[in-house]
Structure formats: structure tokens, C-alpha cells
């Protein structure tokens, strides 16, 4: 299974490289300003310090860093858009160890060949994972790790670009791969992979959980970035995926919205909201509303962050 997986991506990368080679094989007169490199990095801090505070509370210190980098190529009918998004945060509560508050790595590679004024034949590869392990509060149970999980989407389709603010990518041919590299998590069936087998007594047989889950379906990817008001920029990313082979009506959702408020050249503020729904990913649930976990099931996952800090724009 892993060899087939590797062969598929070898072919996919070969396709992208061949397209890029063709894109670069233009006349020397057209090789000016065809690459656009840039990005922005932000670092947000937060602190609460209490001394003889009658109302109570906890001393806390937190830091959250974000980096959004891009490298875009355009020449003739060819475009190649690459982006790397990194997020990492730490929080220290009084009397506790330093804990991770956020962790994200996303790489997106997209090649397009112009079909008309606003439409492009497009291939895209998207990889999402995290950088470091995540444990429970007691640090005795692993919850996730680098490439555990990793969500990979390889797509062929058409990209609609009416302007440089909006991109709507529609792919009827998309392979979605969920990788859980940790055997401990794979044995538990984490993130939708097939769990470990059980013996006649119902005990888990270690090492029999699957590391890879494969899906094939349709995919819609919407990207929007615009300065909606002076010094206020909205960046929105919406991903929708339907598995043709199993319950196509259960559409996977990934929607990220980032609002950046620019105070001056250095100081900035940001608000981030992230929603995820995946029918294959089970979370602890309280069905009886008695504040006790009594099962697991798919749920809408929500995350919000608000920060004020310093930023630097790369050119």
C-alpha cells in the first residue's frame, strides 16, 4: 500500500516538474519579474501577572507565532503558486509545565495552464500536519504528532481566477490520504484509519492498526484575500471534499478565516477562526450533558485565537 502511495506521488510530482520545466522554457526576453517571493511573520505575546489579587486567578504567559510565505511564478500561459503556512504557540500556566496551544504546518503547491481569460487547467498538492507531539494535560497519552495525522490532497481540475483576490479550484478527481505514522495512534484508529485487530478475548493486537486511509472524490478549494478596509486584511480558505466511494453526502469541511489589523509598520493584531468537520474523525462527546464523556463521534471542531504583537513583512 505504501509503495503504491509513493508511486502515485512520484508521478504527481513528475507531472508538476514537467509542467514547470515547460513553463520556464520561454524566450530570454520574457524572464523578467516572473517570480514573486514574499510573506509575513507575526509574533504575539500575552501575560497575566497577579499579586495579592483578592478575586483570584492564575499567572500566565503565552506566545504565538505565525509565518505565511509564498513563491509565485507566472509567465505566458503558465502559473505556479506555492505557499507555506506555519503556526506555533506555547502557554505557561502557574504551577504547570509549558504546554502547546497551537501547532500547524500547511504546504500548498498549485500549477495552472491558462485555458481562457479566467480559467486554468490545474493540478494541486496540499499537505497539512503539525510540527511537534501533542499530549494530554498529564503528559501520559499521545494525542497527535508530526505526520500523525497528515492530510494530503492531490487534485486535477479547473481553477477560476477572476482577479488576484479570488481563486475557486474545482476538482472532480481528487485523492485524499490520511497518514497516521504513530503506531500507537494507528492501533487506536485515530483520525479515521482502520484500528488494530482484536484477539478472541477482545484485546487489541498491537502493531496491526493501519497507517494510511485512502479516499477518492470531488474537491472544491476557495481562496480569498483582500484589504476589506484600510489596514484590515481578510484571508479566507475553504476546503470541501466528498468521498465518492463512501457516504458522498457527508462532505468534509475545512474553513479558515484570518483577519489582520495593521496598527503601524511593526505592531499588528489578528483574529483567527477555524472550523473543521470530518465524519471519519471521532472526538470525545457528552451525549447526556452530565459533564462526563460517554462516547465518541464526529463533531464540528472550532478554534479561535486573538492576538496583538509585532509583525514583519518579507519581500
Q: What is the pLDDT of residues 185-199, one digit of tens each?
A: 999 999 989 999 988
The model's confidence at residue 33, banded by pLDDT at 50, 70 and 90, is low
Set of cell numbers at residue 206: 498491537
pLDDT for position 114: 95
Please, what's the b/e burial string for 275-301 (b: 16 or more CB within 10 A of its CB; e: otherwise)? ebbbbbbbeeeeeeeeeeeeeeeeeee
SS3 8: helix
pLDDT at 123 over 90: yes
- CATH class, domain 35-48+59-314, is mainly beta
For residue 172, which of 190, 157, 150 has the smallest C-alpha distance? 157
pLDDT for position 237: 95
Given a contact cutoff of 8 angstroms between Cβ atoms, the answer to whether 82 and 68 are in contact is: no
- pLDDT tens-digit map of 84-121: 999 999 998 888 888 899 999 999 999 999 999 999 99
Strand duo 295-297 + 232-243: pairing: unpaired
pLDDT for position 200: 87
Global pTM value: 0.81
The model's confidence at residue 5, banded by pLDDT at 50, 70 and 90, is very low
What is the CB neighbour count within 10 angstroms for residue 108? Answer: 19
pLDDT for position 27: 44
**Whole-angstrom Cα distance, residue 128 to residue 209?**
22
Q: Which residue has the higher pLDDT, 287 or 257?
A: 257
The dihedral over CA atoms of 44, 50, 53, 57, expressed in degrees to the nearest 10, equals: 60
Please give the mean pLDDT across all residues of the chain.
Answer: 85
Domain ranges within the chain, ordered by starting residue: 35-48+59-314
Looking at residues 155-171, what average pLDDT do you find? 95
Q: Where are the beta strands (DSSP E) in 138-184?
A: 142-144, 150-160, 166-179
pLDDT for position 42: 87
**Whole-angstrom Cα distance, residue 123 to residue 109?**
8
Amino acid at each position: 500500500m505504501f509503495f503504491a502511495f509513493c508511486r502515485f506521488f512520484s508521478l504527481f510530482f513528475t507531472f508538476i516538474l514537467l509542467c514547470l520545466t515547460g513553463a520556464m522554457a520561454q524566450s530570454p526576453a520574457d524572464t523578467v519579474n516572473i517570480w514573486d517571493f514574499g510573506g509575513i511573520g507575526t509574533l504575539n505575546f500575552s501575560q497575566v501577572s497577579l499579586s495579592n489579587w483578592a478575586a483570584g486567578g492564575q499567572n500566565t504567559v503565552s506566545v504565538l507565532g505565525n509565518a505565511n510565505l509564498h513563491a509565485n511564478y507566472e509567465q505566458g500561459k503558465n502559473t505556479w503558486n506555492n505557499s507555506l503556512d506555519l503556526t506555533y504557540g506555547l502557554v505557561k500556566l502557574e504551577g504547570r509545565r509549558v504546554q502547546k496551544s497551537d501547532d500547524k504546518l500547511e504546504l500548498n503547491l498549485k500549477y495552472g495552464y491558462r485555458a481562457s481569460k479566467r480559467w486554468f487547467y490545474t493540478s494541486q498538492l496540499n499537505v497539512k500536519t503539525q510540527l511537534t507531539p501533542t499530549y494530554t494535560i498529564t503528559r501520559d497519552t499521545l494525542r497527535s504528532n508530526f505526520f500523525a495525522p497528515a492530510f494530503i490532497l492531490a487534485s486535477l481540475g479547473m481553477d477560476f481566477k477572476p482577479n488576484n483576490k479570488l481563486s475557486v479550484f474545482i476538482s472532480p478527481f481528487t485523492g485524499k490520504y490520511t497518514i497516521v505514522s504513530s503506531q500507537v495512534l494507528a492501533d487506536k484508529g485515530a483520525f479515521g484509519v482502520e484500528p488494530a485487530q482484536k484477539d478472541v478475548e477482545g484485546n487489541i493486537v498491537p502493531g496491526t492498526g493501519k497507517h494510511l486511509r485512502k479516499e477518492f472524490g470531488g474537491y472544491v478549494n476557495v481562496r480569498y484575500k483582500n484589504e476589506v478596509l484600510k489596514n484590515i486584511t481578510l484571508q479566507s480558505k475553504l476546503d470541501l471534499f466528498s468521498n465518492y466511494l463512501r457516504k458522498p453526502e457527508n462532505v468534509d469541511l475545512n474553513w479558515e478565516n484570518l483577519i489582520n489589523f495593521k496598527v503601524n509598520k511593526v505592531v499588528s493584531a489578528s483574529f483567527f477562526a477555524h472550523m473543521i468537520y470530518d465524519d471519519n474523525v471521532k472526538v470525545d462527546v457528552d451525549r447526556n450533558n452530565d459533564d462526563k464523556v460517554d462516547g465518541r463521534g464526529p463533531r464540528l471542531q472550532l478554534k479561535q485565537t486573538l492576538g496583538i504583537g509585532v509583525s514583519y513583512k518579507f519581500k
